[in-house]
């Protein structure tokens, strides 16, 4: 006899027992269940069952039984022939995550058309959260092994038109198994450039800020820019540094993010082109695991205007990230890096997930993920965590220490 394969699709208002009742008919008629998929969306059950059997004569009794059952229960059932394929026509999978304050229907149309024009198949869409921030996750499949960069490049115009933040990641077990996160400090973990704040205290604020802008935008070599700015700090008393260290403003969501990531078992590092004097205090205050930064030379209670030891530039940041991953025994695909300046580009590129956070244009053009909203907690969505997960994590960590997600200021 000819071998038969069927795809049963049921749509119904969800209630307990629909799958069990459907399987009872399938088993009674004599079909073999190959696979089952189901999900509930807005109270509606969508159930698919793949069946296989050698006997074609079993098709009519199954069709009759399920049709009568559906009519009696008031839902829809469809039965299709199912052609078994040895492999998927879209075997290469990626995940595209979108963050935005508003996402109009026209935007939804454009992104789906973008995928279609590139022969990219949308396998699944999930809304991770909504409210003040909308978060959509697309799991996509391609016939060829498009890199994450290829997909991101295709979305550049869409991103500009709709002011959305996008992360593109390969859909592997590493995506939800990150274990180390490395932050830049100034204008990423902190809401300021510490060296510019020191410049103001030294009476050189305007000169310092101009050099910092050029260095972070890639217009000036980082090492020479750092040495020049440090020279302006000569004679600054250490007590001024102490006062500034007690008043450094964290970026919104930073403390909440740290508490949640520590609860999830992450190792957390600050790798900064700033100064160790401040980085170590931040690490101690927020119980971070590692802090790596430049060493200001201090003698007799005053800044000398010089540096000691290795300068932490772009290459040193990348080296530090690799070294920390090796020390902890993690794959680089388990590492997240977050930064905003040109000296972060190498670090972001080396990490499994590199996020340009409110970054300079030169950084955003090269990063596979970006966030332009001033809230570090949004990183959690790129790690595959949804709004329900976040609320539960806040509850577990403790409402006294971590405010609920929508209410943190």
pLDDT tens digits along 17-40:
999 999 999 999 999 999 999 999
- Give mean pLDDT, residues 184-206: 95
Q: pTM of the entire structure?
A: 0.88
The mean pLDDT value of the chain amounts to 91
The single residue of 117, 129, 150, 186 carrying the catalytic annotation is: 186
CB burial readout 14-48, b (16+ within 10 A) else e = eeeebeeebeebbeebebeeeeeeeeeeeeebebb
CA dist 358 and 361 (Å) reads 9
pLDDT of residue 408: 43
pLDDT of residue 406: 41
Residue whose structure tokens are 């049921």: 10
The single residue of 184, 340, 344, 375 carrying the catalytic annotation is: 184
Stretch(es) of the chain classified as CATH 3.40.50.1000: 180-193+237-407
Is residue 316 predicted with pLDDT exceeding 80? yes
> Percent of the chain having pLDDT more than 70?
95
Reported confidence tier of residue 139, pLDDT bands at 50, 70, 90: very high
- CA nearest to 278, candidates 246, 232, 310: 246
Is residue 246 predicted with pLDDT exceeding 90? yes
Stretch(es) of the chain classified as CATH 3.30.70.260: 4-81, 92-170
Higher pLDDT, 43 or 145: 43
Is residue 279 predicted with pLDDT exceeding 50? yes
- CA nearest to 182, candidates 327, 387, 365: 327
Residues 6+ apart with CB under 8 A from 46: 9, 10, 11, 38, 39, 40
- Give mean pLDDT, residues 218-244: 95
Is residue 292 predicted with pLDDT exceeding 90? yes
Active site residue 35: no
pLDDT of residue 404: 42
Active site residue 186: yes
The CATH T-level fold of domain 4-81 is Alpha-Beta Plaits (3.30.70)
Is residue 200 predicted with pLDDT exceeding 50? yes
pLDDT tens digits along 82-136:
876 667 788 889 999 999 988 889 999 999 999 998 899 999 999 998 778 899 9
* CATH entry, 92-170, from 2.60.40.10, 3.40.50.850, 1.10.10.10, 3.30.70.260: 3.30.70.260
pLDDT tens digits along 373-401:
999 999 999 999 999 898 899 888 865 45
pLDDT tens digits along 47-67:
999 999 888 889 999 999 999
pLDDT of residue 399: 56
What is the CATH architecture assignment of 180-193+237-407? 3-Layer(aba) Sandwich (3.40)
Count the Cβ atoms, other than its own, within 10 Å of residue 79.
17
Edge-to-edge strand order for the sheet containing 353-357?
120-129, 134-142, 92-100, 165-170, 369-371, 353-357, 335-339, 180-183, 267-275, 290-299, 302-308
Provide φ and ψ at 158, rounded to 5°: -60, -45
pLDDT of residue 269: 98
């Amino acid at each position: 006899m000819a071998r038969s394969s069927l795809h049963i699709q049921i749509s119904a208002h969800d209630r307990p027992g629909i799958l069990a009742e459907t399987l009872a008919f399938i088993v009674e008629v004599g079909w073999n269940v190959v696979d089952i998929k189901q999900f509930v969306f807005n109270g509606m059950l969508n159930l698919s069952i793949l069946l296989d059997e050698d006997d074609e004569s079993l098709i009519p009794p199954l069709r009759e039984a399920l049709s009568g059952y559906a009519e009696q229960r008031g839902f829809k059932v469809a039965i299709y022939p199912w052609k078994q394929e040895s492999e998927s026509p879209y075997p290469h999978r990626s995940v595209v995550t979108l963050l935005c304050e508003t996402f109009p229907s026209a935007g939804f149309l454009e992104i789906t058309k973008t995928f279609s024009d590139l022969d990219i198949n949308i396998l699944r869409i999930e809304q991770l959260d909504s409210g003040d921030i909308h978060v959509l996750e697309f799991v996509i499949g391609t016939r060829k092994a498009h890199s994450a960069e290829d997909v991101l490049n295709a979305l550049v115009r869409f991103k500009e038109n709709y002011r959305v933040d996008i992360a593109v990641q390969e859909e592997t077990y590493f995506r939800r198994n990150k274990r180390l996160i490395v932050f830049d400090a100034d204008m990423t973990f902190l809401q300021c450039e510490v060296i510019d704040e020191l410049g103001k205290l030294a009476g050189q604020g305007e000169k310092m800020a101009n050099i910092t802008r050029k260095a972070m935008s890639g217009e000036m070599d980082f090492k020479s820019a750092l040495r020049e700015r440090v020279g302006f700090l000569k004679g600054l008393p250490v007590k001024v540094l102490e006062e500034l260290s007690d008043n450094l403003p964290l970026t919104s969501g930073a403390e909440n993010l740290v508490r949640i990531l520590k609860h999830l078992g992450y190792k957390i590092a600050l790798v900064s082109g700033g100064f160790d004097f401040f980085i170590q205090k931040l690490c101690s205050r927020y119980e971070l695991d590692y802090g790596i930064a430049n060493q200001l030379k201090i003698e007799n209670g005053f800044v000398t205007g010089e540096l000691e030891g290795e300068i932490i530039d772009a290459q040193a940041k990348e080296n530090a990230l690799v070294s920390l991953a090796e020390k902890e025994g993690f794959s680089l695909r388990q590492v997240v890096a977050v930064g905003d300046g040109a000296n972060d580009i190498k670090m972001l590129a080396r990490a499994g997930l590199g996020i340009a956070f409110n970054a300079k244009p030169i950084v955003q053009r090269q990063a596979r993920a970006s966030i332009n909203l001033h809230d570090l907690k949004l990183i959690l969505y790129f790690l595959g965590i949804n709004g329900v997960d976040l609320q539960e994590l806040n509850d577990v960590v403790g409402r006294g220490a971590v405010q609920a997600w929508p209410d943190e200021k």
